[in-house]
Copies of this chain bind each other. A is one copy, B any other.
Amino acid sequence: KRKKELTADDLVAGIIKQDKVALSRAITIVESTNPRHTEKAAAIIKKCLPYANKSVRVGITGVPGVGKSTFIEALGKYLTSTGKKVAVLAVDPSSSVTRGSILGDKTRMEELVKDRNAFIRPSASGDSLGGVARKTRESIILCEAGGYDTIIIETVGVGQSETAVHSMVDFFLLLKLAGAGDELQGIKRGIMEMADAIIINKADGENTKAAKRAKTEFTRALQLYPPKENSWVPKVTVASAIENTGIRESWELVMTYMAQSKKSNYFEHHRIEQNKYWLLQTIDEQLRSGFYNHKAVKKQLQEQLEAVANNEITPFEAARYLLDLIKEQS
């Protein structure tokens, strides 16, 4: 017997009642690429919007091996122990290809998964960052409507996804290890400048000393950066997710930031700016995808790129030529 399909209203009612199963199903519909779900997803989001926007949104990034999931589990447990409701989402456009390095293996956060005040959701699948980011951003709305007051967005610090995550959170946290060498190889330039705080993780045992030294070094380095728009000076601290030290201190940084940010009205201003960013970003993406999927462009783009590479034509001439193809045909 086929299970009765829940309506948008049913699902939203469930979400508001803080029913995890309803939330899960609703997110599945939001994430669906099935056109049949588009309208239902839009209806769910619309009904959730009045309940949204009420959480603290924190992005956490760091290269593989830095101990992200252990840290997030420790942080999540700490937060629920103080009465918070925590949702953990992820943005990793590659996860559908690599079979989900990120949050895909739920056993990585075994304890947090069992916590009734935590909700963990692997990265949406999809091969375009734009698509995955959009789904995650809409899932945030649903989680907030479901009563989650703290949203953690995990991402791997090696690709384009950090900019996307940075643009959907209030606070951006970069995990690092002491002994910058190897660990730095994978991380993308520019991420350090996005960070509101750097946590030197695995500050335990033999690493303790090196971690403290790294803290001093990064603190000095961050002072050389230009100040942020909101005049927040990024902080550096040490933590050991395994020994459960520095977790509370890490969260206190977030709270200090939130207090300052709300007091100065930067918080609200920033969220509005983020919304505008996503509006303009989505338009850009759609315009580009329309252009590059145009038959004539598809056929001639490679040739133009080669002519440009061989200096037979300037990039501007090539662009004009390609843009004219679209005009002719429409």
Contacts and interface: CB of A to CB of B under 8 A. Distances in A.
B227 A308 contact: no
B192 A190 contact: no
A260 interface: no
Contacts of A295: none
Contacts of A184: 224-227
Chain A residues touching B, range = 35 or more
**How many copies of this chain does the complex contain?**
2
Contact of A217 (B187, B218, B220, B279): B220
Nearest to A277: B315
Nearest to A272: B309
B286 A288 contact: no
Contacts of A316: 134, 137-138, 278-279, 282
Contacts of A312: 49
A189 B194 CA distance: 9
A274 B52 CA distance: 42
A52 B224 contact: no
A88 interface: no
The 5 nearest A-B residue pairs measured at CB: A282-B319, A278-B315, A279-B315, A221-B221, A287-B287
28 contacts: A45-B314, A46-B313, A49-B313, A49-B314, A52-B311, A53-B311, A134-B316, A137-B316, A138-B314, A141-B314, A184-B225, A187-B226, A189-B225, A220-B220, A221-B221, A275-B309, A275-B315, A276-B305, A278-B315, A279-B305, A279-B308, A281-B315, A282-B319, A283-B291, A283-B323, A286-B323, A287-B287, A330-B330
